[in-house]
Amino acid sequence: MAVNLLDLDPEALTTYFAGLGEKTFRAKQVLRWLHHFGADDVGQMTDIARSLREKLAVEACIVAPPVVSDKTSHDGTRKFLFSVGSGNAIETVFIPEADRGTLCISSQAGCALDCAFCSTGKQGFNRNLTTAEIIGQLWQANKALGRDPKGDRIVSNVVMMGMGEPLTNFDNVVAALKLMLDDNAYGLSRRRVTVSTSGIVPAMDRLRDACPVALAVSLHAPNDALRDQLVPINKKYPLKELLAACTRYLEKAPRDFITFEYVMLDGVNDSDAHARQLVEIAAQVPCKYNLIPFNPFPAAHFKRSSADRIRRFADILMSAGIITTTRKTRGDDIDAACGQLAGQVKDKSRRVIRLQNAGNVTNREVTQ
């Protein structure tokens, strides 16, 4: 079976060429062709000996997930739908801003964590993505977006905040991260690559040691009782353990703070008392808060906090000297906003049926 070269991080590619009896510099050459120039055929790699190209044409391949659809929002946000086989698709979102271009990448087809307010979780979980399927989203986006007038790539930042929980697909995610950071591939700085997690504590420690990029934590509640219901993984790794892991992560992180993401749910987690509890958390871990207005999706049982409530909530945090931002809602007309990514995932976990039998969580059930 042919080896997909997009599946190999720099170390694995070096090992692969060593197995072919080739010099290690071949790995750097191929990395540049694959990721810097976007080659989709080894025949394009003109500075590599013809004999090696012929060998690679037989023994290797370059296969990224194909684009199924490509939609652009009225605000310029662009959503790509990629096929990952077996009737499943994943979604990737490009968010253009004046000073950056951010690509939001998926790590799984679906998600097993079932956060109460997230449409992806309601679709169930199918499988982890391969390294090629993860880095292939960036590879394909670079091809589609091209370069700016100066010749620079449009994508300047990558966030692992798409479909799935990145840290439950640890090995493939880290391999993709190493490609993003390698100067012969995408050459992004650690500060410009962010992994978002719901709080898989042991994997946070592993990431700190293996590839410490910027870290965002999906907090969404300031106490265990509420977070148990909004973010069920909290029952396994409660806030005390999560915050301790955040402190450990900062020992090697490229930034001196953790970003806590906090979706604003009307009447659920948006009271003044909740904000004051977040101030107490900030006293334990250097952090900034990113408040996210809830983005509705079919069958959602939550409502977005009002603009006035979000402003009041933010004021409490900022008055305590905490850096606080409110995320702009982007791409909601093409279901590309935060929490809306669902793709086309076959629910092999039968979660939807189980939820229908058990009854979905409502605002009243999770208010603490």
At residue 326, the pLDDT reads: 95
Show the tokens assigned to 200: 């898989």
Residues 85 and 20 in one domain: no
> Where a domain ends, among 37, 61, 85?
61
**Which is nearest to 138 in space by CA: 86, 205, 171, 187?**
187
Residues 78 and 37 in one domain: no
**What is the band of 301 on the pLDDT scale with cuts at 50, 70, 90?**
confident
Residues 27 and 79 in one domain: no
Q: Which residue has the tokens 């650690």?
A: 190
CA distance 145 to 100: 13
Q: Which residue has the tokens 């629910």?
A: 347
Residues 12 and 34 in one domain: yes
Residues 43 and 73 in one domain: no
Residues 128 and 183 in one domain: yes
Instruction: For residue 54, indicate whether it is catalytic.
Output: no
Number of domains in the chain: 2
Per-residue pLDDT at 91 exceeds 70: yes
Residues 15 and 110 in one domain: no
DSSP string, 118-172: -HHHHT-EEEEPPHHHHHHHHHHHHHHH-B-TTS-BS--EEEE-SSS-GGGSHHH
Residues 321 and 344 in one domain: yes
> Where a domain ends, among 21, 45, 61?
61
CA distance 359 to 195: 32
Q: Would you call 64 exposed, middle or buried from its count of C-beta atoms within 10 A (0-12, 13-18, 19+)? A: buried
State the catalytic residue, choosing from 91, 133, 165, 261. Answer: 91
Q: Would you call 323 exposed, middle or buried from its count of C-beta atoms within 10 A (0-12, 13-18, 19+)? A: middle
Average pLDDT of the chain is: 89
At residue 203, the pLDDT reads: 98
Per-residue pLDDT at 365 exceeds 80: no
Residues 153 and 196 in one domain: yes
Q: How many helices (H) and strands (E) does the chain have?
A: 13, 14
Instruction: For residue 338, indicate whether it is catalytic.
Output: yes
The CATH number given to whatever domain includes residue 224 is 3.20.20.70
Residues 91 and 110 in one domain: yes
Which residue type sits at 84? V
> Where a domain ends, among 17, 37, 61?
61
At residue 122, the pLDDT reads: 72
Show the tokens assigned to 292: 């996210």
Residues 31 and 112 in one domain: no
Domain that holds residue 247: 67-366
At residue 116, the pLDDT reads: 80
The CATH number given to whatever domain includes residue 33 is 1.10.150.530
Residues 56 and 71 in one domain: no
State the catalytic residue, choosing from 61, 115, 246, 338. Answer: 338
The string of pLDDT tens digits covering residues 10-65 is 999 999 999 999 998 999 999 999 999 999 999 999 999 999 999 999 999 999 99
The string of pLDDT tens digits covering residues 175-189 is 999 999 999 999 999
Q: Find the farthest-apart pair of alpha carbons in the chain and give their distance in angstroms, rounded.
A: 69
At residue 335, the pLDDT reads: 55
